[in-house]
Amino acid sequence: MSSHRVTAILVLHDGATWLPEVVASLTSQTHQIDKIVAVDTGSIDSSAKLVKGARIPVLPMDRETGFGEAILHAVSTLPEITDPEHEWLWIIHDDLSVHRKALANLIAEVKTRPNVGMAGPKLLGWHDRTHLLEIGISIAANGNRWTGLEPAEYDQGQRDGVHEVLAVSTAGALIRRDIFEQLRGFDPNLDLFRDDVDFGWRLYSAGYAAIAVSSAVAFHAEASANERRTVDVAEAFLHRPLLLDRRNAAYVLLSNSSWWRLPLLTVQLLTGSILRSIGFLFAKLPGYASDEILAVGTLFIHPGELFEARKVRRSQRLVPASIALKFIPSRWSQIRLSLSRTAEWIRTQIFPDEITEVRDISILDENLDEEDLLTPASNRNWFSLIKRPLIASSLFLFILTLFWSRNRFGSIFGGALPEQPAGVRDIWNTYFSGWHSIGMGTSAAAPTWLAIVAVLATPFFGSLKFFIAILFFVAPLLIAGSGYLLLRQLSNNRWLTVGASLLYAISPVAISAINSGRLSTVMVLILLPLFISAAQGIFTLDKTTWRRIFGLSLLGSVLFAFSPILLIVGLLINVFAIYRDYSASERGINTELFNQRLYRRLALVITPVLMCAPWSFELLVEPKRFFIDSGFLLPGGGPNLALLGNPGGPGSLPIFIVSPLTLVLGISLFSSTKARFVAELGFISLLAAVLLSTVSMTGNGTSIATPIYAGSLLTLATISAISASVIMLDKLRERLITTNINFRHISAAVLLIVTALYSVTSISWIVSSGANSPLQTGKEVVLPAFLAIEGDAKTMVIRPRTTGQEVTLNYYLARGGDATLAQPDIAPADRDQISAAVQELADGTGLTASTTFAVHGIKYLFLKSPVDENIARVIDGLGGFSRASSTNAGIVWKISVNTGAILFTDSSGNSSVVQQGKLGITVNEPGELTLTENYSQGWRAMQDGSRLERKRSVDGMPVFTVTEPGSVTLMYDGTSRRAWISFQTIVIVTVMVLALPAGRRRREIEDAELA
Amino acid sequence: MRFQRPTLIVISAVAVVLAANGLNVGLSTNEYSTNFPAVVCPPTPANMTTAISLPSSKTPLRKTGTRSLSFVPSQTLRYTQTKAPVIVESQGSTPIVWQIRKGIWAGATICSSLQNEQWFVGGTADVTSKGKVLIVNSGLSSAVVDLEIWSEVGAQQTKPITLKANSYRELGLDSLAPGSRDIVIRTLTRSGRVTSYLLDERGRGLKALGGDIVNFSSKATKEIYIPAVPHTVRKVGNKTEALAHSLRLLVPGELDARVTVKVLSTDGSFIPSGFENKMVKAGSVIQLPLNPNLPASKFGLHISSDEPLVASVYSPTFSQKKTDFIWSTSAPELTPISLATSGLSPSLVFIGGAISIDIELLLDKGKQKVIKVRGNEIATVKIPDGVRSITFTRVEKGIYGAGLIATKSGYGYFPLAPGSVLTKSSIPLSNIRVLTP
């Protein structure tokens, strides 16, 4: 017979749902409970009646009574302590069912541990009784309740044993009565939630310990936390459990921690609250978001409570409060758990549990004995892994990429891809800036894709060069991967879909895009299959949720940002769909349905435009930019190559390597399956690409009419062709076997031969001459180093460009370096005066060329090798240019007239160069300040707090009239850019919130799901 | 019905492809600007007179060495240049320069635009030499010119010459190659807008031995045509005596050359004795006597070689008891060009195969006259007085020509070559791709 006396205190609050089992479990304990006292905190259901029916005395209290107060009230009704070390209180919730041996096992453990003041059972789920809820608890530095368990961790004894813990849940906690009274019970400021952790912390400070005993098992419904009943305690502001929980968490941390930890804790709590609020907002749970903020707020506006609480704890403390720190989880533990959860989530998203083997039970299986079924068959080895199509193709593609990219290990640029700045910070600076020092300067909006690239590059240590190098290296794998995700929806034949995705990765457009550094097309190749995959059912949008619409819009915006022409494609598809809907609606089918679809289609088209504003608005003003992708404007290969699915241009497959694309589309047109519809879409894309390839345009910093590169449209055609072929070839083998030789056999044979031929030739080309692509590493920069040193000095770079048989002179203004990422996209148009001066240089008539250059602040003229000696002589002869250097890189002349970024012209017309220092420009007399940049409304000159008068010079530059000597500050006012960025941010956040899955309130979650 | 839609698509595809190839939607990638660079005339050395024939009295010109860079109309058809060389915007019509030391000698040349390389085969640097190299930098930056000089003993060290912007220099031949009898000068422009000229003036003591302007050839070639060599006969008592010519040759390369010289004359074509496959040593200037047995007339030379070479013919003249000489230099293949001949009435000599040329003469008051020149191997035509300019409107291939001018002061020779050729330069285009490798 045990000498330990146990008084069970059952707290009731609308727990009728669980009470029958709770009471039954109490009464069936193998260890005798000496006394059971129930405290009813104003239950409005039949809780009290049920308990009274079990002959348990019930102490009634107000509905707003806190949990701790209720316990204290129950304890106060107990007789005086006679045997302090053997009298125990067993705290039982009305939603807690305890195992019949729970108390016995708890008592057995505390018997041998005289320092233990509190012991708790292993808590399992009420509904899923294998779901491990808690086995001891703690609190993280950010206030989170810390159990150290995986989400929905399955209990298979892995946590069993007796563990020293900071605290145990009050549900089922066995507390020595004398210690409970010594510590004055649970903190009255903690009516509900976290009172257990607080009590545990104070217990340790008083020199005792707490243990969790796994042999004692209880099943907890967590009714209050899971919002299965209202929280009516006095402190439960707005009756919100989360608010109370977060508030109490902060209270526990701030009242128990050492004083020197308080500042850091305060910051952590505030930051954590804000971040969680943002998270809840994204999950469309504004109530929870406000709980997070209010919880910390309500605590901080009553600091008196905290001071009082700390005073009480100081009086009870026997050992320093830091004794409990060993139970506070380290930050690394929290990160590790988060990473583990994230990785698991990603894994389940990418590789959902597949049933790899389906075995129908048949009479043949009857002789399988149970043991065979239980023993997992393990017949996998490394070789069998390689035989899996996905792994085999990935391995092959990786090896192919290694050969293909052998000249691209390191920082890469060339082709359409400009050199990249070092870090993401530079990209963001460009993106946020209202003024860009390119050529004579421009206020054009930086393209939206720049921000996307910056975001994508951030995980790569913020190194843009690293990100770009990795992106182009793994691009074939990514392209094949995204293609596979689309194609696997069309066929269950993994060899077919994997093979097709491999073909997609080595399609002419993919090879061309990668080799010529076309970032836009590479991104389109990767993202378009995902978009198509997600956009299935676009013709019946009424069944699509708005969340999916905004998700599609989000992905569509990214595609639009990289390749504006896709918006036109999307627009045309939607216009066609709207027309089709309208025709159906006209027949009186369903106007409401038509409207539902219309609104969704409008959202799909308009959202990307808004998300990419103001860049997208600039496209609307200058529509030809819809046809130009990012980067340098490189020529495409013209219509005939495009007809073969090859966009052409530098780095593309030669014309004698013919892809089966057109053939596939042609054959598919005669298919009787869904392939025909897909092929029709592909054919339309192909023809559009052919037509587009005939058009030449200027743009992206070049005034040379350049044949358009129809990469995006050909990507669409390629995806269509490959999809059509997968649909066609799926189960074709079975059909061919069962039929006599007919046109299907012939067309399949031709298709396979052409495909095999293309695969062999294209792969051979890729690993041989294809590796010497325009996009390479280790290319030398254009501008000599000594010119690059002089920061923002303008240098007119002239160099011959050979196109076929023709040699043309090209020029552009360099601003201290070569062109970098996104600069071609926003490069300003050519200035007539400058182009006339360069033309005069070329034909030898430019006596005033140097003067023109000086007026525009151009300090140097650089004739890049191979130098045309005639032009060099002409420049030598024209005057106004003095040779600064002549090297293998080319010849540099300095403009004889003194010039710079800012010119000051005094009242007598004398001009001088002035510099803007930290204190601005010092002007000694009235005159005019000319900024040698393109004129823009944003340029401001401030003197003594007032703006100087601004006018536009005849050369199209801003001129400011200085009326009195003093310090003048020149600056660009980027307010409008910031406003646009704000607008864009709001749109993006809104669309993201609308696209993200909505979080569920705990009350909305099924019981079975919770526990 | 099943194949109707696919067939329609295939037909439309074919139509699109045909249309795409047929339509020239693409813009022309290159645009060109054309112009005739301004030509530079030789400066006028002291005590000499220079008259420049211009195509029009409104021809813009400017002097070098002055601050003013603006061109002003010439106001005359024959501009008398005082000292500094003038730069003429003659717009395709090549001005002919007639330079005289009055009563002593005369010479002719053409004004030409900047030259990267010029070969002057002629002149001497011995004790009789009063000749000079005239280098004009018509550009507005300083210029560097390398002078390479060969003599009968071989090549001399290259002499770099620096000229200030918009200036000219006269360099005495005797200082460039002291003591050398037979010289060849090559000017190589390293930087700047440079045109060079060579005056070969000779005298012994106070006695003038004549002079001439040595015209340049632009490069050493294996085929050389010297269209007009005046063959002068003087009376010695009752007899007539043909004045001997000298053929000056230089093979500037490393290898000796086998040279054949063919005389083209109205009396027929022949290779003078000893001039067939004659071995010419490389690297040094040689002068060979050339005495074709011809009546007083003009003849031409066709020199062929297995190595590039330069050549010219020195021909002494005797007129009005004065001795003079003339340098007949090689001429480039004749092309449709225009020459300003105001105040001059040159004799034009053409050599080649079948000669067929149409010459348009622009006379005063805008009158025009066309002369058709037809001949075989050699043909001559005398340009009448009062012709402002001559234009070769139709020229067969393989014809070479030169002009000879005879006045009281002496003879002059000029090749029928353009002073400036139409320069077709593609208009530079703005392209940010210049800022990427």
The pLDDT of residue A84 is above 90: no
Average pLDDT score over residue span A405-417 = 90
The pLDDT of residue A645 is above 80: yes
Q: How many helices (H) does chain A have, and how many strands (E)?
A: 37, 30
HSE, side-chain direction, 13 A CA sphere, residue A156: 4
In which region does residue A17 sit, left (phi positive, over 0), alpha (psi from -120 to 50) or beta (all else)? alpha
Q: Residue written as tokens 């929870």? A: A288
Measure the CA–CA gap between B37 and A842, rounded to whole angstroms: 12
The pLDDT of residue A360 is above 70: no
Q: Are B28 and B39 in contact, with CB atoms under 8 Å apart?
A: no
pLDDT in tens, B137-146: 887 777 889 9
pLDDT in tens, A729-739: 887 777 777 87
Q: Is B47 on the interface with A (CB under 8 A)?
A: no
Residues of chain A with pLDDT > 90, as a percent, come to: 35
Measure the CA–CA gap between B352 and A247, rounded to whole angstroms: 110
* Residue A555 burial (CB count, 10 A): 19
B434/chain A closest Cα distance in angstroms: 6
Question: B192 vs A799: CB contact, 8 Å cut-off?
Answer: no
Torsion sign (Cα): A171, A175, A179, A182:
positive
- Two structure tokens written together for B85: 């060389």
Question: A843 vs B430: CB contact, 8 Å cut-off?
Answer: no
In b/e form, how buried is each residue of B238-277, taking b as 16+ CB within 10 angstroms? eeeeebebbbbbbbbeeeebebebbbbbeeeeeebeebee
pLDDT in tens, A198-226: 999 999 999 999 999 999 999 998 887 77
Q: Which of A301-315, A680-694, A882-896, A987-1001 shows the lowest mean pLDDT across its residues?
A: A987-1001
The strand pairing partners of A6, in sequence order, are A88
Question: A876 vs B193: CB contact, 8 Å cut-off?
Answer: yes
Give chain A positions within 8 Å (CB) of B140: 847, 877-880
Give chain B positions within 8 Å (CB) of A842: 33, 425-428
Measure the CA–CA gap between A648 and A642, rounded to whole angstroms: 7
Give chain B positions within 8 Å (CB) of A821: none
Q: Is B426 on the interface with A (CB under 8 A)?
A: yes
Q: Write down the pLDDT at residue A381.
A: 61
In which region does residue A42 sit, left (phi positive, over 0), alpha (psi from -120 to 50) or beta (all else)? left
Of A59, A58, A63, the closest CA to residue A43 belongs to A63
Q: Write down the pLDDT at residue B6.
A: 66
pLDDT in tens, A578-595: 888 888 776 666 777 788
The predicted model scores a pTM of 0.71
**Maximum CA extent, chain B:** 112
Question: B25 vs A696: CB contact, 8 Å cut-off?
Answer: yes
Q: Which of A235-239, A368-372, B176-180 shows the lowest mean pLDDT across its residues?
A: A368-372
pLDDT in tens, A254-287: 888 888 888 888 888 888 888 888 888 777 777 7
The DSSP secondary structure of B227-270, one letter per residue, reads EEEEE-EEEETTEEEEPPEEEEEEB-SSS-EEEEEEEEETTEEE
B116/chain A closest Cα distance in angstroms: 8
Q: Is B238 on the interface with A (CB under 8 A)?
A: no
Q: Is B432 on the interface with A (CB under 8 A)?
A: yes
Question: B25 vs A694: CB contact, 8 Å cut-off?
Answer: yes
Cβ neighbours for A69, distance < 8 A, ≥ 6 positions apart: A61, A188, A191
Q: Write down the pLDDT at residue A384.
A: 67
Helix (H, G, I), strand (E, B) or coil at A717: helix
Cβ neighbours for B11, distance < 8 A, ≥ 6 positions apart: none
Question: A842 vs B193: CB contact, 8 Å cut-off?
Answer: no
Helix (H, G, I), strand (E, B) or coil at B142: coil
Question: A702 vs B429: CB contact, 8 Å cut-off?
Answer: yes
Residue of A nearest to B430 (CA): A811
Q: Are A859 and A900 in contact, with CB atoms under 8 Å apart?
A: yes
As for the ipTM of the complex, it is 0.72
Average pLDDT score over residue span A559-565 = 94
A903/chain B closest Cα distance in angstroms: 25
Question: A695 vs B16: CB contact, 8 Å cut-off?
Answer: no
Q: Write down the pLDDT at residue A888.
A: 85
**DSSP state, residue A411:** S
Question: A873 vs B35: CB contact, 8 Å cut-off?
Answer: no
Q: Is B29 on the interface with A (CB under 8 A)?
A: yes
Q: Which of A53-67, A320-334, B217-231, B404-418 shows the lowest mean pLDDT across its residues?
A: A320-334
Residue of A nearest to B22 (CA): A694
pLDDT in tens, A614-628: 999 999 998 989 999
Using alpha carbons only, what angle is made at residue A575 by residues A574 and A581, rounded to the nearest 5 degrees? 85
Q: Is B2 on the interface with A (CB under 8 A)?
A: yes
Whether residue A866 is preceded by a cis peptide bond, meaning omega within 30 degrees of 0, is yes
**DSSP state, residue A440:** T
Measure the CA–CA gap between A440 and A901, rounded to whole angstroms: 10
Length of chain B: 437
> B338-340 and B387-395: which strand pairing?
antiparallel
Extract long-range pairs of A496-501: CB within 8 Å, 24+ residues apart: A496/A726, A496/A729, A496/A730, A497/A389, A497/A726, A498/A389, A498/A390, A498/A392, A498/A393, A499/A389, A499/A393, A500/A722, A500/A725, A500/A726, A501/A393, A501/A722
Q: Write down the pLDDT at residue A233.
A: 52
Beta strands in B60-131 (DSSP E): 60-63, 72-73, 78-81, 86-88, 93-101, 105-110, 117-121
pLDDT in tens, B78-128: 999 888 899 898 888 899 999 998 888 899 999 998 788 899 999 999 888
Q: Is B12 on the interface with A (CB under 8 A)?
A: yes
Question: B35 vs A843: CB contact, 8 Å cut-off?
Answer: yes
**Maximum CA extent, chain A:** 118
Measure the CA–CA gap between B166 and B41, rounded to whole angstroms: 13
Q: Which residue has the higher pLDDT, A118 or A918?
A: A118
The pLDDT of residue A1 is above 60: no
Q: How confident is the model at residue B224 (pLDDT cuts 50, 70, 90)?
A: very high
Average pLDDT score over residue span A291-316 = 83
- Two structure tokens written together for A615: 């860049």
Amino acid at B291: N
Q: Is B195 on the interface with A (CB under 8 A)?
A: no
* Mean pLDDT, chain A, integer: 85
Measure the CA–CA gap between A157 and A799, rounded to whole angstroms: 76
B358: buried, middle or exposed (CB in 10 Å: 19+, 13-18, 0-12)? middle
Measure the CA–CA gap between B196 and A594, rounded to whole angstroms: 85
Whether residue A614 is preceded by a cis peptide bond, meaning omega within 30 degrees of 0, is yes
Average pLDDT score over residue span B372-380 = 91
Residue of B nearest to A806 (CA): B30
Q: Is B13 on the interface with A (CB under 8 A)?
A: yes
Question: A694 vs B427: CB contact, 8 Å cut-off?
Answer: no
Question: B6 vs A669: CB contact, 8 Å cut-off?
Answer: yes
Q: Are B256 and B282 in contact, with CB atoms under 8 Å apart?
A: yes
* Residue A867 burial (CB count, 10 A): 17
Average pLDDT score over residue span A729-750 = 80
